[in-house]
Amino acid sequence: LLQCRALEADAPANNLRDERIAAVIAINPIASGVFGPEGMSAIQVPTSIVAGTDDIFAPPIPEQVRSFAGLTTPDKYLVVSKPGTHFSFIGAEEEEGVLPVPPELIGPDPKLALPYMQALTTAFFKSYIEKRGEFVAYLSEGYLESIAQKPFAFDLVTSFTPEQIEEAIANSIRKQEAILE
C-alpha cells in the first residue's frame, strides 16, 4: 500500500544525493518499486538493509533482496532476521499506534531484537561514519552468530550472485503460491 502510494507521487529528482549522508541503514524498506535497480545503483555510500523473514508488509525477497541486489557500493550489507516481522526492529506498542497491531503480526517481543540492532548500528556507524576500521569485524555473520539468542537468528551477506537471487525469488513465489492454494 505504501509503495503503491509512493508510485503515484511526482517523480523524484534524478539525483537525491546529499553530501551530508555518509552511510545508510534501512530497516524493512519498500524501495524496489520506488527506486528500482537504477535508483539503488546510484547509492554510493555504505548501506545496510535489514529484513525479516516473516514481514508481510515489506516481504524480504521482492523488497529488501531485490533492493540489495541493485546496490553497487562496495560496502553493503543485507541482514535477515529469522523470525523477523515488520515490527521486530521498530516496535509496535499498543499505546503508540493509530491502529492496534495484533500480536501475531508483531512476532517475538521487539525488545529481544533491540540488542542486535544496537550492536549492528553501532558497528556500522563506527565503521563508516567514524572511520574506525576495527569495527568492521563486527559486521559479519560470525559475530551475529556469536551473540545470537533465541528466538532470533540472523544471516548477513555482502553479495549475491544472479543465480542466488533468482533462486530466492523462485522460492518466494513457490511459498506464496502454496499459501494461496
Which amino acid belongs to residue 118? Answer: Q
Q: What is the mean pLDDT of residues 99-127?
A: 88
Model pLDDT for residues 2-59, shown as the tens digit of each residue? 555 555 555 555 667 889 999 999 999 998 888 888 889 999 999 999 999 899 889 8
- pTM of structure: 0.81
Mean pLDDT, the chain, integer: 83
pLDDT over 70 (residue 69): yes
Q: In Å, how far from its chain's centre is CA 26?
A: 6
Rounded average pLDDT over 140-151: 88
CA 135 to chain centre: 20
Q: Please choose, from the candidates 21, 65, 63, the residue with its C-alpha nearest in 3D space to the C-alpha of residue 42.
A: 21
Helix (H, G, I), strand (E, B) or coil at 152: coil
**Three cell numbers written together for 45:** 555510500
Contact 17, 51 (CB under 8 A): no
Question: Residues 146-166: pLDDT tens digits?
Answer: 888 889 888 899 998 777 777
Domain boundaries, the chain: 2-11+22-180
- Does 104 or 156 have the greater pLDDT score? 156
Angle at 76 between CA 141 and CA 24, to 5 degrees: 110
Mean pLDDT value of segment 67-87? 91
